[in-house]
Amino acid sequence: MVALRQVLLVEDDDGAREMFAAALRLTGYHVRTAADGLAGLRLLEGFVPDVVVLDLGLPIASGFEVLHEIRSVDATKHIPVIAISGHDLGVRLAKANPEFYATIAKPFDPETLVRAVSRAVRQRR
């Protein structure tokens, strides 16, 4: 039996989080979700996903703060992180940051996210 690839999706918009998680699950990924940066970091305490999808405009801890924490822990520092943002400045900053595997500007089709996650998983193998 092949293990499902694990994705952590951190997105504060309920509708977007549900839509993106459903698209990833339909493609065969096991998805855990969080609605804010702190909740996402708490999930990482006992869970090491293959990919993190991270909204940059999160409450409590921003996507950039979450990225910093991910990179500062040995168990998670090599996980590909895909940044998503609906703000032009956030997209530009993320694209300029080599710590992000990829950046996707909102709005986008869920299939765009599935393709980016699939690429990250393939490259990580």
Helices marked H in 27-109: 37-44, 63-71, 88-96
Query: Is 116 a member of any domain?
Result: yes
What is the residue range of 77's domain? 15-124
Residue holding tokens 């992000």?
100
Nearest Cα residue to 100 out of 35, 56, 40, 47: 56
Phi-psi region of 40 (alpha: psi -120 to 50; beta: other; left: phi over 0): alpha
What's the number of domains the chain is made of? Answer: 1
Query: Is 8 a member of any domain?
Result: no
* 54-76 tens-digit pLDDT: 999 999 999 999 999 999 999 99
What pTM value is reported for the model? 0.93
Query: Is 60 a member of any domain?
Result: yes
Query: Is 3 a member of any domain?
Result: no
Give the CATH number, domain containing residue 114: 3.40.50.2300
- Judged against a pLDDT cut of 90, whether residue 30 lies above it is answered with yes
pLDDT value at residue 89? 82
Query: Is 7 a member of any domain?
Result: no
Query: Is 10 a member of any domain?
Result: no
* 79-123 tens-digit pLDDT: 999 999 988 888 888 888 889 999 999 999 999 999 999 999 988
